[in-house]
Every structure is written in structure tokens, then in C-alpha cells.
């Protein structure tokens, strides 16, 4: 089955949906079915389009897809929901037999420079790790800081259009020169954003360290947080698995976003700790304090409570040294 035949098997509604995404033209209803098919076919069977789609395709979908291409399969017997990304970008078509890989598309893909595609895929994966890690580590962050870290990790300046692209893909928000998570943006009280200061932020030493925050288990890699979550898991066995998972996600979020330790503690108590014994509550309180003090908090620019304390002590030390210098300088001035 070639690409044109695969398109012919799609409904008019599917064709119009695909066409509108490819060409972003308005009056798609006025275009004849044959014209839709030929336009889509010509647009997809281009080196730029195929290279781009293979570059941004998720790893698991890419592996399955490339196995099919290399074997020359016409059908892959997988349910349509297994590959929403590839279906969306027309690399396969859903049919009664499975997911269709048009034969002429396979021939065109085999001519591509896969070494260049592999390098670009690695770059895209690293960029995604970079942006998602930053937004989960900081919650809200100045563009200047993003650019500074990008240059540190990638050895080049961050193109503005690249940041804009990731903001759009991840659904982030921009307010002046600050990039925010949507939840923070929606609750923002309208005050002016603070001026940028690199000293405000924790600086992960490597991209790998930043990557600890890029996935769904962000902020759950420390021993203290793991101990708290294990305690919650042990004392919520009566809840359905889905509710327990949601409870632990909520606990992590509350701690990460905490700007009032007592209020956060009260929320966690209301969520699961009301019926704990005195001994269990003391254990919970101890675990909570340890987790709070060792977690990188949004309100402190990704620093921990302990690091903030150390920073304050260091600032006081520097200020005292500056005062002593001024006294010495005045004495010298008086002697002259």
C-alpha cells in the first residue's frame, strides 16, 4: 500500500484535520478530496519533514517505527492509542489491520541520513531534559538564568526561538522576563517580577544533575523525601492505589512549593495524618521537617533551607569583613 492509497482509506474528516495541521489554511472544506490527498502526500514525502518527525518522535515510538521501516512492514498490529504522536504527524495510519506504514514512505525514509538524525535526537532529548528540569527545579525562572545555564551545559548561546518553541510545547507561561509553570502564572498576584540575580538561584553542576528534576518523579530522589513518601504509603493502605499515588504527588508538590512550613504541615495532616497515633505523628513530623529542609524549594530559587541558612551566614560574614575594612581605612585616613 503506498501513501496515496493509505490516504484514500481515511475519512474526509481525518483528511481535513491532517491538511489543516500541515498547511494551516482556513477554507479546508472547499478543497476537493483528491487535492487534499495529493497535497498531504507531497508535503509529507519531503526530506525536511521526515527528518524533523523522526527527530522529535519519542524514543519508544521511534524504536518500534524504525523496526517496521527496516523490515518493510506494511502493518504493525498495535492499537491506535499506542502511538498518538506518530499518528498525529502522519508517519502511520490507523486501519482495521493495525497501523499502516505506506511502502513509498518506507523507501523515502531509508534514504535519510540517520547519523545526523540520531545526533539531533540526542540534542532534542537533552534540550527537553534541560527545560523540564529547570521548570520543575525552580517553578518560575528568569530567562537570563535559563540562558546562562544553557551556555554552561551546551557551550553555546540559547537561541530565543528555541526557548519560545519549548515554552509552546510544554505549555509554559511568560511574564516579563520570567518563565512560569501555568499553575504559578494563574495564581500570580500581578506584582512586578523581581530583577534577575544569579545569586538567587541554585546552580546544578551538570545537565545530569538537572535531569533529576525533569521527569514525573522530580524532587523524589533524596533519601529524606523517599522516607516521607514511604511513611505516607505505609499509613494509607486503606486507599485505592490511584488515590495513594495522587496523595503522594500532592505531598511532593506542597513541599516543593511551600512558602509556609506550618500551613503545609496542616494541609498534609488534613490529607492523611489525622488518625495517626501520638508516636506515629511524631515520626511523621520528624520526616516532614527533614524532607522540607533538604528539598529544593521554588521559593528559594531551587535552594534548600539549609543552603539558604548557609548563604545568610556567609553574607553576614562578608558584611562584617567589609565593615572592618572601612574602620581600618578611616584610621589610615585620620593618621594622614
| pLDDT tens, position by position, 208-262 | 999 999 988 999 999 999 999 999 999 999 999 999 999 999 999 999 998 899 9
Residues 108 and 131 in one domain: no
Quote the number of domains for the chain.
Answer: 3
Residues 143 and 190 in one domain: yes
Residues 102 and 15 in one domain: yes
Q: Name the one residue in this structure whose C-alpha cell is 504541615.
A: 265
Q: Does residue 320 have a pLDDT over 60?
A: yes
What are the angstrom distances between the C-alpha of 198 and each of 140, 142, 231?
14, 9, 36
Contact 229, 248 (CB under 8 A): yes
Under the banding of pLDDT at 50, 70 and 90, the label for residue 62 is: confident
What are the angstrom distances between the C-alpha of 272 and each of 7, 227, 229, 250, 281?
53, 16, 12, 11, 11
SS3 state at 276:
coil
Last residue of a domain, one of 149, 178, 210: 210
Helices (H) and strands (E) in the chain, counts: 17, 6
Q: What is the pLDDT averaged over residues 49-69?
A: 85
Under the banding of pLDDT at 50, 70 and 90, the label for residue 296 is: very high
The pLDDT of residue 81 is 58
Contact 312, 256 (CB under 8 A): no
- With 0-12 / 13-18 / 19 or more C-beta atoms within 10 angstroms meaning exposed / middle / buried, residue 231 is buried
Contact 219, 252 (CB under 8 A): yes
More confident residue, 97 or 35: 35
Rank 77-91, 92-106, 265-279, 306-320 by mean pLDDT and report only the highest: 265-279
Last residue of a domain, one of 186, 210, 234: 210
Residue 171 placed within a domain: yes
> 270, 265, 277: which is closest to 228 by C-alpha?
265
Residue 94 placed within a domain: yes
Residues 13 and 106 in one domain: yes
> How many Cβ atoms are within 10 Å of 335's Cβ, its own excluded?
6
Residue numbers of the domain that contains 83: 3-112
Residues 52 and 128 in one domain: no
Mean pLDDT, the chain, whole residue set = 86
Angstrom distance (rounded) from CA 272 to CA 250: 11
DSSP of 220-275:
--SHHHHHHHHHHHHT-TTS-HHHHHHHHHHHHHHHHT-S-HHHHHHHHIIIIITT
Residue 329 placed within a domain: no
Residues 233 and 251 in one domain: yes
Angstrom distance (rounded) from CA 99 to CA 63: 15
The pLDDT of residue 66 is 86
The interaxial angle of helices 47-56 and 33-44, nearest 10 deg, is: 70
Q: For residue 99, give the H/E element and its range.
A: strand 98-100
Residues 149 and 241 in one domain: no
Residue 235 exposure: Cα atoms within 13 Å on the Cβ side: 20
Residue 319 placed within a domain: no
pLDDT digits (tens, 9 = 90+) for 80-89: 555 555 555 5
Return the percentage of the chain with pLDDT > 70, whole number.
85
Residue 170 placed within a domain: yes
Residue 311 placed within a domain: no
Residue 246 placed within a domain: yes
Residues 34 and 107 in one domain: yes
Angstrom distance (rounded) from CA 175 to CA 181: 11
The pLDDT of residue 75 is 66
Last residue of a domain, one of 285, 300, 315: 300
Residues 24 and 89 in one domain: yes
Q: Is the pTM of this model over 0.85?
A: no
Q: What is the pLDDT averaged over residues 292-302?
A: 94
Q: For residue 305, give the H/E element and its range.
A: helix 305-335
pLDDT digits (tens, 9 = 90+) for 154-187: 999 999 899 999 999 899 999 989 999 988 888 7
- The β-bridge relationship of strands 75-76 and 173-175 is unpaired
How big is the CA angle at 296 (ends 290 and 299), to the nearest 5 degrees?
110
Residue 241 corresponds to which cell in the numbers above? Answer: 492505589
> 323, 322, 265, 256: which is closest to 294 by C-alpha?
256
Question: Cα(first)–Cα(last) distance of the chain, in Å?
Answer: 96
Residue 326 placed within a domain: no
Amino acid at each position: 500500500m503506498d501513501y496515496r492509497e493509505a490516504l484514500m482509506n481515511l475519512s474526509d474528516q481525518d483528511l481535513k484535520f491532517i491538511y489543516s495541521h500541515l498547511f494551516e489554511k482556513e477554507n479546508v472544506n472547499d478543497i476537493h478530496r483528491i487535492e487534499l490527498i495529493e497535497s498531504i502526500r507531497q508535503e509529507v514525502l519531503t526530506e525536511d519533514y521526515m527528518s524533523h518527525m523522526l527527530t522529535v518522535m519519542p524514543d519508544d515510538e521511534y524504536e518500534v517505527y524504525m523496526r517496521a521501516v527496516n523490515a518493510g512492514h506494511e502493518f504493525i498490529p498495535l492499537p491506535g492509542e499506542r502511538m498518538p504522536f506518530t499518528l498525529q504527524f502522519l508517519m502511520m495510519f490507523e486501519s482495521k489491520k493495525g497501523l499502516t506504514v505506506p511502502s513509498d514512505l518506507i523507501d523515502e525514509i531509508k534514504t535519510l541520513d540517520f547519523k545526523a538524525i540520531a545526533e539531533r535526537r540526542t540534542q532534542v532529548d537533552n534540550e527537553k531534559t534541560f527545560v523540564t528540569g529547570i521548570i520543575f527545579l525552580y517553578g518560575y525562572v528568569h530567562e537570563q538564568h535559563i540562558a546562562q545555564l544553557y551556555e554552561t551545559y551546551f557551550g553555546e548561546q540559547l537561541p530565543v526561538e528555541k526557548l519560545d518553541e519549548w515554552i509552546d510545547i510544554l505549555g509554559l507561561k511568560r511574564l516579563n522576563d520570567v518563565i512560569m509553570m501555568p499553575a504559578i502564572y494563574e495564581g500570580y498576584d500581578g506584582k512586578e517580577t523581581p530583577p534577575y540575580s544569579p545569586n538567587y538561584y541554585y546552580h546544578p553542576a551538570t545537565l545530569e544533575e538537572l535531569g533529576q528534576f525533569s521527569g514525573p518523579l522530580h524532587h523524589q530522589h533524596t533519601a529524606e523525601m523517599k522516607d516521607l513518601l514511604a511513611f505516607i504509603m505505609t499509613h494509607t493502605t486503606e486507599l485505592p492505589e490511584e488515590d495513594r499515588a495522587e496523595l503522594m504527588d500532592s505531598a511532593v508538590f506542597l513541599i516543593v512549593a511551600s512558602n509556609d512550613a506550618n500551613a503545609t504541615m496542616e494541609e498534609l495532616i488534613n490529607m492523611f495524618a489525622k488518625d495517626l497515633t501520638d508516636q506515629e505523628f511524631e515520626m511523621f513530623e520528624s520526616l516532614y521537617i527533614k524532607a522540607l529542609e533538604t528539598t529544593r524549594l521554588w521559593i528559594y530559587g531551587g535552594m534548600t533551607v539549609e543552603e539558604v541558612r548557609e548563604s545568610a551566614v556567609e553574607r553576614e560574614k562578608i558584611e562584617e569583613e567589609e565593615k572592618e575594612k572601612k574602620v581600618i581605612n578611616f584610621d589610615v585616613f585620620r593618621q594622614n
